[in-house]
Amino acid sequence: MQEKLRSHIETIVPLTNDEFSFILSLFTVKRFKRNEFIIQEGESVRYAYFVVSGLLKLTYTDDSGREHIVSFAMEEWWESDFQAFFKQTKASMSLQCLEDTIVLGLTLENYEEMSLKVEKMRIFLIKMSNAGFIASQQRIVSLLTNNAKERYEKMLKSYPALFQRVSKTQLAAYLGVSRETLSRFSS
């Protein structure tokens, strides 16, 4: 479990045992069951989460009550309502488990402690954040450029594993297409 975090960080920066022990001490292990909410819209967001195992969806529910999936998070991804986390405001999104899930939670205080005390982690955090930014930007390009069927096929190619793990309803909510229309793509 801890090894997952360590090897994840060490894909970017090497750590001494002492450094890693310190870093680890800043995290809290949390376990959730399938369908449980980790973050609920309107509540405050105390943690950013590193996913050890399981699968999460980050969702936004619009005025009409329709749920849109902003992102999925699987093993070795970071997830939270980062806007609410960093600005310490109420969540505008929800974070919910699609499978039983184990995460490591990091408070904003500990996030800042980590980046103050462990120099290397700043480099790591910059790289993580840049990677997230670049991924979001590519999602924007895809939403602007490709129609629903193209987005579906692109995703099927890029993340075939996800198709085994999430329902078509969830996929549709991620791709920005209705369940029925998505259903007609596969056939």
Partner DNA sequence: TTCAATTTGTGATGTATATCACGGCGCACT
Partner DNA sequence: AGTGCGCCGTGATATACATCACAAATTGAA
The burial class, CB within 10 Å (0-12 / 13-18 / 19+), for 161 is exposed
Is 158 near its own copies (CB under 8 A)? Answer: no
12 vs 102, beta carbon nearer its own copies: 12
Torsions phi, psi for 6 (to 5 deg): -60, -50
> Using CB under 7 A, which of the segments 44-52, 124-132, 144-152, 153-161 binds DNA?
144-152
- The residue from 21, 25, 137, 167 that contacts its own copies (CB under 8 A) is 137
Per the document, the length of the chain is 187
Q: How many residues bind its own copies (CB under 8 A)?
A: 29
Q: Find the binding residues for its own copies in span 99-118 (CB under 8 A).
A: 115
By CB under 7 A, residue 3 contacts DNA: no
Q: How far apart are CA 183 and CA 145, in angstroms?
A: 21
**What is the DSSP secondary-structure string of 4-43?**
HHHHHHHTTS---HHHHHHHHHTEEEEEE-TT-EEE-TTS
Residue 7 interaction partner, one of its own copies, DNA, none, beta carbon < 5-8 Å per kind: none
Give contact residues for DNA (rule: CB under 7 A). Answer: 34, 66, 147-149, 167-169, 176-181, 183-184, 186-187
